[in-house]
């Protein structure tokens, strides 16, 4: 789980990049779309990794870059007063497409057992849904559970980077990821129950 202090430091660090992209004329929604594009490029490499195992670390780097752009869109919106309800909706929507595309590509590319790949995909979507549903009910879910989106992306990217050295990294890592996301869903359900039972 990423601590609040670490998130604060990261947000400070990306301010220069946010200013640069804003000077180029990119809106937060443009940056969100670029993040999705990077995720889709990453997914294509996972699908076609058999052409060269070196595609896997490149896919991991693209996935991390996608996550970086995902952080930048929010930073630009906050820094330049461009926060909109639609922007938040679009960001969440495209994040789900990004997650689904990458996990589906890893599964369809034969990099993990289909059962665990599908389980990781479903669990990842439920982690996000549980947060959205809880916060619609007035319960904050930030930092509840240890498999939030940022952690999942870093974990998959790490597995991808070590895959040329150990081809079983994604196979076994996806099993662990599937377990982690469903535990996170249970953690959030329990937290919501405790917060609302009174």
Residues classed as catalytic = 95
Cα gap 134→173, rounded to integer Å: 28
Buried b (16+ CB within 10 A) or exposed e, 158-176: ebbbbbeeeeebbbebbbe
Contact 101, 43 (CB under 8 A): yes
Residue 181: left if φ>0, alpha if ψ -120 to 50, beta else—which one? alpha
Q: Is 96 exposed, middle or buried (0-12, 13-18, 19+ CB in 10 A)?
A: middle
For 127, residues 6+ apart whose C-beta sits below 8 A from its C-beta are 145, 147, 148, 149, 181, 184, 185, 188
Q: Which of 89, 95, 65 is nearest to 77 (CA)?
A: 89
Residue 143 dihedral angles phi and psi, to the nearest 5°: 70, 10
Place of tokens 């595309």: 101
């Amino acid at each position: 789980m990423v601590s609040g202090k670490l998130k604060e430091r990261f947000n400070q660090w990306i301010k220069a990049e946010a200013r640069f992209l804003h000077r180029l004329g990119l809106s937060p929604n443009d940056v969100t779309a670029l993040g999705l594009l990077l995720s889709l490029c990453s997914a294509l490499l996972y699908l076609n990794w058999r052409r060269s195992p070196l595609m896997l670390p490149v896919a991991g780097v693209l996935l991390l870059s996608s996550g970086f752009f995902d952080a930048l869109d929010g930073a630009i919106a906050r820094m330049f007063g461009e926060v909109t309800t639609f922007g938040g909706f679009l960001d969440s929507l495209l994040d789900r497409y990004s997650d689904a595309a990458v996990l589906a590509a890893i599964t369809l590319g034969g990099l993990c057992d289909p059962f665990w790949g599908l389980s990781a995909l479903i669990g990842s979507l439920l982690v996000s849904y549980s947060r959205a549903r809880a916060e619609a009910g007035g319960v904050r879910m930030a930092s509840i559970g240890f498999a939030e989106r940022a952690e999942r992306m870093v974990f998959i990217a790490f597995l991808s980077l070590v895959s040329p050295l150990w081809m079983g990294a994604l196979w076994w890592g996806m099993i662990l990821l599937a377990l982690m996301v469903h535990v996170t869903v249970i953690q959030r359900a329990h937290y919501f129950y405790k917060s609302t039972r009174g």
